[in-house]
Structure 1
Amino acid sequence: MPQDKIALSFGRTPLEITPPSGCLPTIIRKAAMTKLADGAAAIRRAFDAPIGSTKLSDLSRGKTSACILICDITRPVPNGLFLRPMIETMVAAGVPLSAITVLVATGLHRPNEGAELQELVGDRWVLDHVSVENHFARDDAAHIDLGTTATRGTPIGIDRRFAEADLRIATGLVEPHFMAGWSGGRKVVAPGVAHHTTIRTFHSARFMEDPLAVQCNLTGNPLHEEQLEIIRRLGDVYALNTVIDEDRDLVHVTFGEIIASHLAAVDFIAGVTRIAVPRRFKTVVTSSAGYPLDKTYYQTIKGMVTPLDILAPGGTLIIASQCSEGFGSPEFREAQERLTELGPERFLATLTAKSLAEIDEWQTEMQLKATRLGQVELYTEGLTDEERRITCVTLSADIHASILASMARHEDPHVAFIPEGPYVVPVYVPTAGDLAA
């Protein structure tokens, strides 16, 4: 590919963009990471050298059942690398194969089934030998009630298949998350396998509008603090945490006690994901990280929020997302219709008095953070005309033309390109000269 082209993550095939004539591009990527030469060996080493716990084989001895959480299809976790060796280690230590469950932590997302479930699990042996099931947050009988958190009164309902297992392990991907700071670890448990009231409390305006509930921040983050309290209420929980590069190859893995092992993975990834940028831009071009994150418009909003720190007020944010699966849930569609009808201020006013958010309306609330700051333009291939109308953003028919128009409108040729979208967090760090001025 010619060097002057920039490849934005888009579906399964990158979207190649040639910057317009006169454009002065700044390309913002994660820092380089070394791929693990033997991912399977690295995973086994993690099992044998855990953080904050004994090794997996010792944890498994004497256990009569186990539940392993995996993220749903919206996250490209390399499940095919670690599920079988994890299960085989448990069985070798005496856990009955018939008593091991792999539970898809769907939160309030739809279940993953059929060919999609096979793709998600990534190993036919696992599907053939253990029970692989989906979490359903709205099934009251499937959860146990652990009371409420002491700090903020969040109701704690957790899928009983996980809560009642002798050995509980969450697995996932550690990446920036636009509300919880970082994904993975404790987040795979709550909201991953939490009751809908727990999830809807997390997504109420009192959490969502908190200035500390942002990407890459755990200090004082109310969502993170509630998640930690829920983990401690559960008791012993462990985690396998993975970090992948732009090619989706494994670069880091940790295993051990869920809080300690997750923080170790965060320590590894934070320095390469948060990228200091010495200026703000009036034109920012980004993506929704490609497949599987850009399957829906619902997930696309994450890519709108992550780069806001480097978008100049009144600037233009152009995002490319395939939306191959369409819009998102019926509840999200309803929230977007209400936004279309009420407008941003009245819509937000309907949220602030609620202790329980309506399902998926929180993503509409997050979209407002982007549209309050500047103009958002969406380039997509996957939405109907009606769905495009209720996005409540400007639609781009030609991303090259949108960039050119934004440069002209703002009279500024400087354009920031973020090819990997929300997996990269640009942070405005002014230079010494800027601070002196």
Structure 2
Amino acid sequence: MKQVKLAYGKDHVSIQVPDKAVVIEPRHLPGLSDEKSAVLEALRKPIGTPPLKEMVKSTDTVAIVIADITRPTPSEKLVPWLIEELSHVPKENFVVINGLGSHRPNTKEELIQMLGQEVVDTIRVINHEAFDDNELVHVGCNSYGSNVYLNKTYVEADFRIVTGFIEPHFFAGFSGGPKGINPGIVGIKTIQDFHNAEMIGNPQSTWGVIDGNSVQDAATQNCLMAKPEFMLNVTLNGEKEITNVFAGDVIEAHRVGCAFVKEHAMFAVEKPFDIVITTNSGYPLDQNLYQTVKGMSAGAQVVKEGGSIISVSECVDGLPSHGNFGPILKMRSTPQELLDMINDPAFSMFDQWEAQKLAMIQLQADCYLYSLLDEQTVADCMINHVENIEQTLKQLMDKYGPDVTIGILPLGPLVIPYVAQ
């Protein structure tokens, strides 16, 4: 037996697993020795644009878009460094827009955690309002027939910067880049179109795929309708340290970053496993079950049909309590019935995309969850509740027999596992 540490909340849980279990992790990259210097260097020698400082006039209003608290983007570092690099711009000319998508607004205390006390005290910071038409402006219609509504404050700014971090994404291929804008600061109608059942169900809408991925294409089209003049994205290791910096043009620099992530986050296995144990890479991504679907999806890439996935995710924020994810899961009694409902063109409800992905996983494998959620809540989601990970693992090993195969993703969706052809 060997011990494996699984990311869980702000710490980890340790379990004993058989020696033959395959541990699937991204190649560890050390954090940069001087993160600030690396970021400033990228701002001064960007990809596809002039240096940032040369692009911004002292009279410009500058909008900086950040990711919300469910993402580990180190905004508390990036935003102050951006403002420092643009020191010729008065602080009253800046606005930081928290890219919530359809998530709940973040509290002042959370914004301080995300940005630091000084930024919150000296810079205008606003939560994006996807549900308030008065805070949105129509900027066009994409090739999929979707009307695109964007944050009005962002559109009206003289200079627009989008920040974020790049990691594998379970239906957009990769996060970061255009996704900071869409769904980060678009209206709810655009978000629903962007996550419609046909797009989410497309086989190309999956981990590590850019070309032919309709979700990434829609995000790109929507982003370019009010293109940010500059992008600052980073990559992170398992300790949330910055490992590389990509700055400049939102498409060109992002694609370079995606290629870097793909090189370091792909993990091939010879054949799928009977049992996969996965996490959601710990805090902040494992705050709720909605986000936990990402880690489950990572595990689903390498689990056998009829296999089992054990997800280890704290879910301190519930399902969450806001939004439609929980209510949608209660609308039908089986994953297939749920999927049929969502695939009906007459059905449209925000958060359906996460329920759709979960149902697709549940049709492939039995799903188990170790979390802070109570047993009834987990059962209502058609998932098996786990009290003790090792005990559940033992029961499943007995079920699959002496030749059982086990794969483990201690950092969940920070790695893209795949079965080699």
* TM-score (normalizing by structure 2): 0.96
Alpha-carbon displacement from aligned partner over 1:20-59 (angstroms, at most 9, x marks no partner): 5xx5211110012132100010010011000000011011
Match of 1:416 among 391, 401, 407: 407
Residue 358 of structure 1, aligned match among 333, 340, 349 = 349
Among residues 11, 17, 41, which one is paired with 1:45 in the alignment? 41
Cα distance, 1:255 vs structure 2: 0.8
Matched, 1:379 2:377: no
Check conservation: 2:42, 2:246, Cα contact below 8 A. Answer: yes
Aligned to 1:125: 118
Q: Detail structure 1 runs of 4+ shifted over 4 Å in the superposition.
A: none
Q: Which residue of 2 aligns with 1:323?
A: 315
Residue 64 (str. 1) matches residue 29 (str. 2) = no
- Give TM-score, length-normalised by structure 1: 0.93
Q: Is the 8 A contact 1:69 1:105 kept in 2?
A: yes
Cα pair distance change 1:202/1:236, threshold 3 Å: closer
Q: Unpaired runs of 5+ in structure 1? A: 431-437
2:415 and 2:150 map into 1 onto residues whose CA distance is 31
Residue by residue, what CA displacement relative to the aligned partner does 1:157-200 show, whole Å, maximum 9, x if unpaired?
00011111111111001011111111111001011000000000
The answer (yes or no) to whether the contact 2:162–2:228 under 8 Å persists in 1 is no
Amino acid at match of 1:144: V
Q: Is the 8 A contact 2:308 2:365 kept in 1?
A: yes
| Displacement after TM superposition at 1:416 (Å) | 0.8
Structure 2 gap ranges (5+): none
> 1:137 & 1:330 partners in 2: Cα distance?
12
CA distance in 1, matches of 2:229, 2:348: 28
Find the counterpart in structure 1 of residue 16 from structure 2: 18
* Counterpart check, 1:401 vs 2:385: no
Kindly report which structure 2 residues correspond to 1:1-400, keeping only aligned pairs within 5 A, or say none: 4-20=2-18, 24-61=20-57, 63-92=59-88, 95-121=89-115, 123-149=116-142, 151-328=143-320, 329-340=322-333, 343-354=334-345, 357-380=348-371, 382-400=372-390
One-letter amino acid matched to 1:401: Q
3-state SS of paired residue (2:131): coil
| Identical positions, percent | 27
* Structure 1 stretch displaced more, 134-143 or 351-360: 351-360
Contact 1:147 1:155 in 2 (8 A): yes
SS of structure 1 residue aligned to 2:112: helix
Distance 1:35 1:236, change over 3 A: closer
Larger mean CA deviation between 349-358 and 202-211 belongs to 349-358
Q: Which moved more, 1:228-237 or 1:421-430?
A: 228-237
Aligned to 1:434: none
Question: In the aligned structure 2, how far is the partner of 1:41 from the partner of 1:355?
Answer: 52
Q: 1:54 to 1:12 in 2, by over 3 A?
A: same
Q: Which amino acid aligns with 2:383?
A: V
Whole-angstrom CA distance in 1 between matches of 2:282 and 2:167:
15
